[in-house]
Amino acid sequence: MAGIEQDLFSHVETLFPLCRSITGEGLRRTLRYIGEHIPLECREVPTGTPVLDWEVPKEWVVRGARIRRMNGETVVDFVRNNLHLLQYSHPVDAIVTREELDRHLHSLPDRPGLVPYRTAYHADTWGFCLSHEARMALTDPAYRVEVDTELRDGSLSYGECWLPADAPDEPPKDAPGGAPGGAPGDVLVSIHCCHPSLANDNLSAIAVAIELARALARRSARRFGYRFLFIPGTIGAITWLARNRDVARQVRHGLVLSCLGDAGAPTYKQSRRGDAPIDRIVGHVLRARGLAGRVLPFVPYGYDERQYCSPGFNLPVGCLMRSPNGSFPEYHTSADNLAFVQPAALADSLALLGEIVELIETDATWRNTSPYGEPQLGRRRLYSRIGGQTDPGALPGGFDQLTLLWVLNLSDGQHSLLDIAERSGKPFEAVAAAARALRETGLLELAPPATLASGRTVG
């Protein structure tokens, strides 16, 4: 296993045993672990706090849960697998008939060996999840049920990692720079952290996000600020949005990350807008990998893109996955375990996010400073270097003559580098390298924001 694969997998492995939920100690311990690796501000929002149309729920405390036969033999135990307890079960200590117990059991008849993951955040009930095989074996007339839990006034926890952009008055040397007068905005990366012992959904995304944030923290220059949210699903995103309406307005690109560790190919679900820059950027990166078919349109279902893309916010936030939620038989079952997550897939997801970040950071709209006729490239030691070659192949830096000509022709203040890459069919990296070379000669300058085509540019 390569170093980065080892690092990613060890995050998944370490966090796997914890019993996370939308509130409580398992979630807090997960955030503390994340905070040992990246700068993380942990927030606590008290039970009962109104958040948008919702309210922060009571905190769920779990000490144990089991089903015992009347002779004392334990048949189902939370200690063996935390999926066994229906999340948010209220406490119970009772002897119940087989029929009464069965009304509180959840199993999967079509996958009889697997334990399902079920929640009842708002149902005020108790329940157990078990394999269908184990359920069929419960034939005694009565059982003793012990659920040692507590629903109490506490708080909802989430973590925020903020990596600011470089100060606008100190433009990064090799980056094209942002809009004059301020940083171009924020990139939001949102990861749900509320699932118990499930590896792909959601520990894979936590692991990849930790390493992505570490890489971004080390990056010599950041044109954008990056905000990582480690939050409980749905209620966490709603809580963050309720408390950060102004911050949300700064989001220029956003990604919800989930299911990034299975062997499936990467999948991108577009934002509600469908044509936001992030949709074009991730679409471009996946097409370059031959994965055009793995771009899916927005649907108001899935992960926290549901909240970020609600009509009042309508943020440019898509969702990056490998196999989409619900599309694999291991999803939300005990088979989504450590054996299901592939270290190489985790590393590939991280590499893919690296390409997406590179595009976010590099894309910009330039203007040809000599747009009347083709500028004389030979005098600037550009054309001669290419024109003399029989193969109009690469200059050092990796672009050919045609790429250079495309960049010069389309840099009219209306076309971004991504526009140029898409229209020319040239790789984005080659287009960006050509733009860098042209900028060094003074033939390109950043287009002032006023001339940018609306909605077509990064920043």
> What is the contact surface with Zn ion in residues (CB under 5 A)?
201
Q: Which is nearer to Zn ion, 304 or 419 (CB)?
A: 304
Taking the least distance from each CB to Zn ion, the nearer of 7 and 201 is 201
Shortest Å distance, C-beta 187 to Zn ion: 23
To Zn ion, the closest distance from the beta carbon of 189 in angstroms equals 18
In angstroms, give the least distance from the CB of 200 to Zn ion: 9
**For Zn ion, the closer CB: 128 or 331:** 331
* Residue 243 CB coordination number (10 Å): 16
CA–centroid distance for 110 within its chain: 31
Asked if residue 295 lies in contact with residue 322, where contact means CB atoms within 8 angstroms, the answer is no
Roughly what angle, to the nearest 10 degrees, separates helices 277-288 and 417-424? 40
CB of 425 to Zn ion, least distance (A): 38
Say which amino acid occupies 335: A
* Beta carbon nearer to Zn ion, 201 or 355: 201
Tell me how far the alpha carbon of residue 393 is from its chain's centroid: 37
Count of CB atoms situated within 10 Å of the CB of 433:
21
Residue number with the smallest Cβ distance to Zn ion: 201
In angstroms, what is the minimal distance from the CB of 332 to Zn ion? 6
| Cβ-proximal residues to 45 (8 Å cutoff; 6+ apart), any chain | 51, 56, 155, 156, 157, 158, 239, 243
**What is the phi/psi pair of residue 62, to 5°?**
-120, 125
Nearest approach in angstroms of CB 326 to Zn ion is 9
Cβ of residue 454: shortest distance to Zn ion, in angstroms?
A: 36
Which whole-number Å values give the CA distances from 24 to 91, 94, 150, 284, 450, in the listed order?
16, 25, 11, 40, 48
For residue 99, give the H/E element and its range.
Answer: helix 98-102
Whose Cβ is closer to Zn ion: residue 166's or residue 201's? 201
Residue 98's CB: how many other CB atoms inside 10 A?
A: 12
Where do runs of H (alpha helix) occur along 309-393?
Answer: 343-362, 383-387
Nearer to Zn ion, 193 or 432 (CB): 193
